[in-house]
Amino acid sequence: MRKHIILVGFGDVGSRIAKVLKDAGAIFVVVDRNEAKLKDKDFEYVAGDATDENVLKQAGLEKASSVIIVMNDDNDIIFTTLIARNINPHSVIIARANALQSIDKIYRAGADYVASLSILAGQMLAKIILGNEDETIMMFQGLEIERYPVTPGSRLSGKTIAESQLRSRMGCTVIGIEENGKTTTYINPEMVMKEGMTLAVIGNREQISRFQQEYKT
């Protein structure tokens, strides 16, 4: 199996994420207990309990680039995160927190980013009211995604992801690259960033601010 995304949970949130991934042409596998919800969908899936490591392995966890966990029970999310981090220490794990008090526990289980839906909804509503339409998308807990076009003369042009040292120097991570109308979420450290690409860079507010100061001025 090629490098891919695993989406755990196919409820209201998971189904919308799956649509975005499908529209973007991403390679992904959905894991959910309820096979009836998945049968007629035009994507790969594994029906089963994501707290069972064998189910996650069937979805190709060992080769996944990213894992998105949006289950309804925070205890299941914590346990699934633990399993995912243990099996694939190099994947990017993004998890949903249904309750604010679960955020720290999910981080300790090994998630890279934890989304609180209540915080996210509040920030999105505030941005709509304020009419803030910049290209930096506020996500949760100060976490942002920066869309960065690689233009002629960019200091990132011609460098590999590894050579840029964005993660070690700034804490930012490239989670997606768009080029010629196609989007990939499999980010190999040896990928070369080229003129005409648009990078999706994720980090907290301070990290994105440092990124902007260095590369957008």
Q: Does domain 5-120 have CATH number 3.40.50.2300?
A: no
pLDDT at residue 57 in the model: 96
The secondary structure of the chain as a DSSP string is --S-EEEE--SHHHHHHHHHHHHTT--EEEEES-GGGTTTSSSEEEES-TTSHHHHHHTTGGG-SEEEE--S-HHHHHHHHHHHHHH-TTSEEEEEESSGGGHHHHHHHT-SEEEEHHHHHHHHHHHHHHT---SEEEEETTEEEEEEE--TT-TTTT-BHHHHTHHHHH--EEEEEEETTEEE----TTPBP-TT-EEEEEEEHHHHHHHHHHH--
The CA distances from residue 120 to 49, 112, 138, in Å, are 27, 17, 8
pLDDT at residue 138 in the model: 52
Q: pTM for this one?
A: 0.62
pLDDT at residue 1 in the model: 45
pLDDT at residue 53 in the model: 93
* 183-210 CB burial, b ≥16 within 10 A, e <16: ebbbbeeebebeeebebbbbbeeebbeb
Cα 167 from Cα 74, distance rounded (Å): 28
pLDDT at residue 39 in the model: 87
pLDDT at residue 170 in the model: 86
Q: What is the chain's pLDDT, residue by residue, as a tens digit (217 residues)?
A: 458 999 999 998 899 889 888 888 888 999 999 999 998 888 999 999 999 999 999 999 999 999 999 999 999 999 999 999 999 998 889 998 888 788 889 999 999 888 776 656 555 555 555 555 455 555 545 567 788 999 988 999 999 998 998 888 888 888 788 888 887 777 778 889 999 999 988 877 788 889 989 887 6
Q: Which tens digit of pLDDT belongs to each residue from 109-119?
A: 999 888 776 65
Cα 105 from Cα 210, distance rounded (Å): 28
Looking at domain 134-215, which CATH architecture does it have?
2-Layer Sandwich (3.30)
Q: Which tens digit of pLDDT belongs to each residue from 12-55?
A: 889 988 988 888 888 899 999 999 999 888 899 999 999 999 99
The domain limits of the chain are: 5-120, 134-215
- Hey, which residues does 200 pair with through a beta bridge? 147, 176
Judging by beta carbons within 10 Å of its beta carbon (0-12, 13-18, 19+), is residue 78 exposed, middle or buried? buried
pLDDT at residue 142 in the model: 55
